Amino acid sequence: MIPSSFQVTGRAPRLDGSGAPIRSCRICERVSARIMAASLSRTVESFLRAYDVCDQAVIVGVSGGADSLALLHSLRALREPFGLRLHIAHLNHQLRGDESEADACFVEELAREWSLPATVESHDVAAFAALKRLSTEEAARLVRYGFLEQVAEREGAQVVVVAHHADDQVETILMHFLRGAGLAGLRGMLPTTTYPFKAPVHLLRPLLDVTRAEIEAYCAEQQLTPRVDHTNADTGFLRNRVRHELLPLLEQYNPNLRAVLRQNARVLADDYNYLTQRARGAYERALLVRRDDSVAFALSGWRVLQPSLKRALVRLAVAELRPETRKLDARHVTDALHVADRGRVGARATLPDGLWLFRDVDAIVIAERLEPPELPEAPRRPASLPVPGQVRLENGWVLEARTLPREELPADALKGIDPLEAFFDAERVPGELTLRAREPGDQFAPLGMKGQRKLLRRFMMDAKVPEAWRARTPLVVAGDEVIWIAGWRIAEAVKVTAETRQILHLQFVRDAG
């Protein structure tokens, strides 16, 4: 329905300042902008009602850009009917020199003009990124949320509001897809969550269904003059490459791609919630031990689970032990399931932030450190290892040696599923075999380092071999060369290649006698 003020009246056309007729498209654009601006206000109001945000302190993250400025303006208009005590929080990341300083000054001046309390602080994000060996984007995110949490605690607030919008959501979904995320990542950002805060603080995103165009229309309609972050055009950052390069390309195949991705994210969020509910029940049924540094599932309970529930259990266990990690991806989970389902006793898979999945006799263990009672220990004195033949160890293990032709090599032999066995090119082994513990000055040229040698002590530290294991870890030495650190790595020089004709197979087994 056309508003009455724009209906055809039969009068002469309206003229602009130069005497030219005003084009109808300019009027339509103006109407469209007003509609979009009104839509943003209604969306924020509906969000506050839906999540019962009223009569409380609210921390508003404000960068000075269009999205956070529009959010703050709309919340300020609603603060009296909803009883909101708004507090502005701005963090200067010190990444853009004078522009960062100007952003901080802009927010301080805005707070004074709008009579709102504000906390404006600075943090050297680049230094933090270097210290923690993080990307600048990840470091900025961690520092920013840490700052918002501190402000919330100081102000006694349980709600922090940020201005992520619909286009941010689309970019986030694509970035998660590119790094191999599962259902949790493909949901994108959630409208409300307690993550990443440790304190009982909720993070809210009222603009997740509002597009960038609607935000810009709102700012224009309300005569707001946001700051512009010129680094948003820098395609050195992954998010900017997704925004400026990948999305426009994909929209050539489906112009409605953004809406499709957001709808898919909502569907996947429902699927994730259902699967998580099922997984929590399976988690408790399979749980054997829960400690501060480890979670163990009974092997009998694990084996009856569907693969999707097994993946969910790994993710839940990692979340319980490392609630702040964002590094767990599909590759980690796939490797963990491979070891849990097919690995022998002692097999392990690497998980993020210092965690391991470990295959025990009757359990699947996820822990930050692994106790060694089920693993072989190096002999007190060096022991000769005949081929074929065996060496018996004092703690109930036997190291067996044999040779076999290349044609008899098992299909999965070189995947490292069982850390207590290894396969070598027999013709490259440089001498008779000895089993012993490490000695001062030992060097090692590990597989994957193209023959580069390093002190054995340094390799064990870099490979995060637990300190308590290092002196007890068995070494297989050929002549003067360490060719296998049992349970960890073989040497580059003796690896099996396409030219290998004869295989040396070494394996630790329990002493049946």
Angle formed at CA 238 by CA 233 and CA 244, multiple of 5 degrees: 45
Backbone conformation region of residue 244, classed left if phi is above 0, alpha if psi is from -120 to 50, else beta: alpha
Question: How far, in Å, CA of 141 to CA of 132, rounded?
Answer: 13
Q: Token pair 């390069």 is at which residue?
A: 245
The pLDDT, as a whole number, for residue 236 is: 86
**Helices 257-286 and 307-321: crossing angle, nearest 10°?**
80
* Cβ-contact 84, 75 below 8 angstroms: yes
The pLDDT, as a whole number, for residue 161 is: 98
For residue 439, give both structure tokens: 């000695």
The pLDDT, as a whole number, for residue 513 is: 61
The distance in angstroms from the start CA to the end CA of the chain is: 91
The pLDDT, as a whole number, for residue 494 is: 96
Per-residue pLDDT of the chain (513 residues; tens, 9 = 90+): 334 333 333 444 555 555 555 555 555 556 566 777 788 999 999 999 999 999 999 999 999 999 999 999 999 999 999 999 999 999 999 999 999 999 999 999 999 999 999 999 999 999 999 998 888 888 999 999 999 999 999 999 999 999 999 999 999 999 999 988 888 889 999 999 987 777 789 999 999 999 999 999 999 999 999 999 888 888 888 999 999 999 999 999 999 999 999 999 999 999 999 999 999 999 999 998 888 888 999 989 999 999 999 999 999 999 899 887 777 888 889 999 998 998 766 678 889 888 999 887 678 999 986 554 467 889 989 999 999 999 998 878 999 999 999 999 988 778 766 778 999 999 999 999 999 999 988 999 999 888 889 999 888 877 767 666 788 899 999 999 999 999 889 999 999 999 999 999 999 998 776
Closest CA to 221 of 2, 32, 14: 32
Burial 396-426 (b: 16+ CB within 10 A, else e): ebbbbbeeeeeeeeeeebeebbbbbbbbbbb
Question: How far, in Å, CA of 252 to CA of 325, rounded?
Answer: 35
In the chain, count H helices and then E strands. Answer: 16, 22
- Bridge partner list, 177: none
The pLDDT, as a whole number, for residue 3 is: 40
For residue 232, give both structure tokens: 């948003």
CA distances from 203 to 152, 239, 297 (A): 11, 21, 32
Burial 294-323 (b: 16+ CB within 10 A, else e): bbbbebebbeebeeebbbbbbbbbbeebbe
Q: Token pair 């329905």 is at which residue?
A: 1
Question: How far, in Å, CA of 511 to CA of 397, rounded?
Answer: 5
Establish how many alpha carbons lie within 13 A of residue 323's alpha carbon, considering only the half-sphere containing its beta carbon. 8
* Cβ-contact 173, 181 below 8 angstroms: no
Closest CA to 269 of 185, 328, 387: 185
Hey, is 221 helix, strand or coil? helix
Helix/strand/coil (H/E/C) assignment for every residue in 370-415: CCCCCCCCCCCCCEEECCCEEEECCCCEEEEEEEEEHHHCCCCHHH
Closest CA to 122 of 103, 136, 137: 103
pTM over 0.75: no
The pLDDT, as a whole number, for residue 104 is: 96
The pLDDT, as a whole number, for residue 360 is: 75
**Structural domains in the chain plus CATH codes:** 12-232 (3.40.50.620), 265-367 (3.30.465.60), 383-510 (3.50.40.10)
